[in-house]
Amino acid sequence: MTTHVFIIGSKGIPAHYGGFETFVDELTRRKTAQDIRYHVSCLSDREGEFIYNQARCFQVKVPSIGSARAVLYDLMSLGRCVEYIRKHRLTGSIVYILACRIGPMFAFYKRRLEHMGVTVLVNPDGHEWKRGKWSLPVKTYWKISERLMVKHSDLLVCDSRGIEQYILEDYAMYQPKTTFIAYGADVAPSVMSEGDEELVRWMEQFHITPNQYYLMIGRFVPENNYEMIIREFMASGSDKDLVMITGAEQNPFYNELLKKCRFDLDPRIKFVGTVYNAPLLKKIRELAYAYFHGHEVGGTNPSLLEALASTKLNLLYDVIFNREVGGEGALYFSSDPGSLTALIQEVDQYEGANVEEWEARAKNRIKMEYSWEHIVDAYERLFHQYSYSHSPSRAFRPARRTAGTTEVEKAAQTGQSK
C-alpha cells in the first residue's frame, strides 16, 4: 500500500533558496521507496497542481499580509491537506509540518486529522522566538506557538540534538516524543570550473582573488554575529579579504553596523550581495581560504553543512549547535574579545598539509553524519514506521501510539538508519 506524506511549511519546490526548501527538494528527488507518495505545499500567486520529483505539488495562493503571511500559508496548506485526505480517504497518511508557526490553531486541526487516522509530525526548527528581528509581542507568539505544537504533535523530528534536548527539557510536562534526523549536505564538487566565465566575472567585479579571502554567508541579522566577526577581522591584520554574501544594504542593521565599525574604511571588508546560482555559490565556497560561521540561534544550519562540505577551513562560533555539527572538523572561537582575532592570526599561517588535514576532517564529518543518502533513508524508514495499517476497518479512526522509542527512531538517533 502507498504511504502518503503531506509536507507543509516550506515555500515549496523546486527549491531556489532556503533550508526547508532544499530539504524537501532533496527528500523528493532522492526518494528510493516506491510505496511513498509525497504531497508538497507550494506558496504561489496562483492555484493549481503540478508534478515535480514525482511529488504532487499543490499551489496555495496566499494574500500578502506582512509577517503573518507565513502563518496563514501554513493554515491554508493544512486545510487543503485535510480536504484531500478526506476526499481520497487516505487513512494511515502522514502530515509533516516544518516549523512551529500555527500553535494556537494546531489542536483544532490535529483533532480532525486524528479522527481520520492521520499521524502529524512536526519539525520544531530552531529558536525562532529568540531572533533579534522580532518585536516582543511576536517573540511571545512564537514561544506560545512552539509550546502548543510540541504539546499536540505525535512526534517531533529534530534536525539538531541540541534542539531535541531543549524540547525534552523545557517541555517535559508534555512528555514529548522526539527523534533526531539531521539535515543533509553533498560533498560532490561544484560542476563549475575555476575558469568559468561567470565565476571569473564575479571575482573581477569585487576584486577577489581565489584562496585569498575569508567567507561568510547568511542572513544579515544580529544573532549571526556580523559585528563581532567584522571587528575581530579588522583587528587581525590579515592580508586576506573578508567576503560577505548576504542581502545587507537594504537592511537597517547595515547602517547601524557601519556607524559602529566604520568597515567602509577597510578595503578588505566586502559586502557582495546575494548569490542564487548554486554551482557558482559552491565554487565560491571551494575557493575561499576559510569560512566564518557566527550563527548562535537555531539548530543545524544548512549553510554550515554546505561550508563543511566545500570549504577547506571552517571557523565556528562556539555554541552547542555549531559544535554538534562541526565536531572535530572545525576550529572554534568565543565571544571573548580577541578570541577570533587570535584564531585568524593562527590559521593565516597554516601551510598546505595543515589545511588539507582540516579539509579532510570537515568532508569526512559530512560523509559520516550528514550525507543526503543517509538522511533520506532515515526519513523513509520513519514514514514507513508511522504509516500504520491501511485496512478499511481502521479508516478514519484515531491513531494509536505505543510508548517508548521505536526501532526506527533508535536507529535514527544512533545514526544506523541514516
Q: Tell me the C-alpha distance between 247 and 220, whole Å.
A: 6
Return the CATH class of domain 197-369. alpha beta
Taking residues 286-307, report their average pLDDT: 90
pLDDT in tens, 325-380: 999 999 999 999 999 999 999 999 998 899 999 999 999 999 988 999 999 999 99
Lowest mean pLDDT among 13-22, 133-142, 205-214, 384-393: 384-393
pLDDT in tens, 266-295: 999 999 999 989 899 999 999 999 999 999
pTM for the whole thing? 0.80
Q: Which is more confidently placed, 254 or 394? A: 254
Q: Tell me the C-alpha distance between 17 and 277, whole Å.
A: 10
Q: What pLDDT is stored for residue 133 in this prediction?
A: 64
Lookup: cell for 373: 543518502
Q: What pLDDT is stored for residue 417 in this prediction?
A: 35
Asked whether residue 403 carries a pLDDT value surpassing 70, the answer given is: no
Q: What pLDDT is stored for residue 141 in this prediction?
A: 87
Lowest mean pLDDT among 219-223, 224-228, 248-252: 248-252
Q: What is the DSSP string of 2-61?
A: PEEEEEESS--SS-SS-HHHHHHHHHHHT---TTEEEEEEEEESS-EEEEETTEEEEEEE
Please check whether the two domains, 3-184+371-414 and 197-369, share a CATH topology: yes
Q: What percent of the chain has pLDDT over 90?
A: 73
pLDDT bracket for residue 297 (50, 70, 90): confident
Give the residue extent of every domain in the chain.
3-184+371-414, 197-369
Whether domain 3-184+371-414 has CATH 3.40.50.2000: the reply is yes
pLDDT in tens, 43-59: 999 999 999 999 999 99
